[in-house]
Amino acid sequence: MNKVAIITGGGSGLGQSTALRLADENVNIVVVDVKEETANETVDLVKEKGVDAIAVVADVAKKEDVQKYVDKTMEHFGQIDYFFNNAGISGSGGQFLDTDVEEIEKIVGINLLGALYGVRYVAEAMLKNGGGSIVNTSSSAGVIGQDSVVTYSATKHGIIGLTKSMVAEYAEQGLRLNAIAPGPTETPMVKEFFDNNPKMKESAESGIPQKRLGTPEEVAELVTFLLTSPAQYINGEVIRIDGGFTNTK
């Protein structure tokens, strides 16, 4: 029987690339996204690879929507083996004291509360079936401080705390959680951010030892390894995938 993975933010970027990569491993996919059109696009691409997939439209900042995507998964597939807890937004790129409170609340709602709700309801379902594997998306801004993304950085530091603390509580019951910390990567979210803040793109590229942005496909390889790896002793780790960016800070 195929394993089943839920991917939030699965309509584009890291989520879509990971859905396609997991499909190559014969994993059935639940694509969660706030946009129905992009979620369905990923579902169609995944099904072309010969596995089953469904789309669930959800705002991860709303706990009832998170419960909905878990319930829909259990109704359709009856199990959850893997969870890529990935949905997130970056913000406008302004200085923190110039940032509207409404923007702060939105970023925290999607990036941090959405991740917390996801782990809360998905892990509950996983543990009823003996456990599962979760990868949370942090960021290079989750392991170092970065200007112009204060709220985003705070939420991504929080993702690491969530990952490590859940392992402390639930590893014995069969739960594995790891986090990834991507540097600047060629996703629609990052492109939009750099389009609005072109000087930051120049700064980012020059500060990466490999002198280029990462690709979603490279990140998808890491996520797939962490989710599906027979190396079950990898637990509570934060894996940087940033071309050496944070190693120079």
Phi, psi of 141 (to 5 degrees): -75, -5
Q: What is the pLDDT of residue 37?
A: 98
Q: How confident is the model at residue 77 (pLDDT cuts 50, 70, 90)?
A: very high
The alpha helices in the chain, defined as continuous H runs, are: 13-23, 36-47, 63-76, 101-107, 114-128, 150-170, 188-196, 198-207, 216-228
CA 175 to chain centre: 17
Across 27-36, 207-216, 218-227, least confident range: 207-216
**Residue of 148, 225, 224 lying closest to 184 (CA atoms):** 148
| 126, 175 contact by CB (below 8 A) | yes
Catalytic residue among 82, 117, 121, 152: 152
- Pairing, β 82-85 against β 4-8: parallel
Domain ranges of the chain: 4-248
Phi, psi of 186 (to 5 degrees): -75, 70
Q: Return the CATH number of the domain spanning residue range 4-248.
A: 3.40.50.720
| 18, 221 contact by CB (below 8 A) | no
Tell which wins on pLDDT, 152 or 1.
152
Residue 45 CB-density burial (10 A; 0-12 exposed, 13-18 middle, 19+ buried): middle
Q: For tokens 């402390």, what's the residue?
A: 168
Q: What is the pLDDT of residue 56?
A: 98
Q: With a threshold of 0.85, does the pTM exceed it?
A: yes
The residues facing 176 across adjacent strands are 133
Q: What is the pLDDT of residue 238?
A: 98
**What's the average model confidence in pLDDT over 61-76?**
98
**What's the average model confidence in pLDDT over 47-73?**
98
Q: What is the pLDDT of residue 186?
A: 84
Tell me, yes or no, if 117 is annotated catalytic: no
Q: How confident is the model at residue 210 (pLDDT cuts 50, 70, 90)?
A: very high
Q: How confident is the model at residue 226 (pLDDT cuts 50, 70, 90)?
A: very high
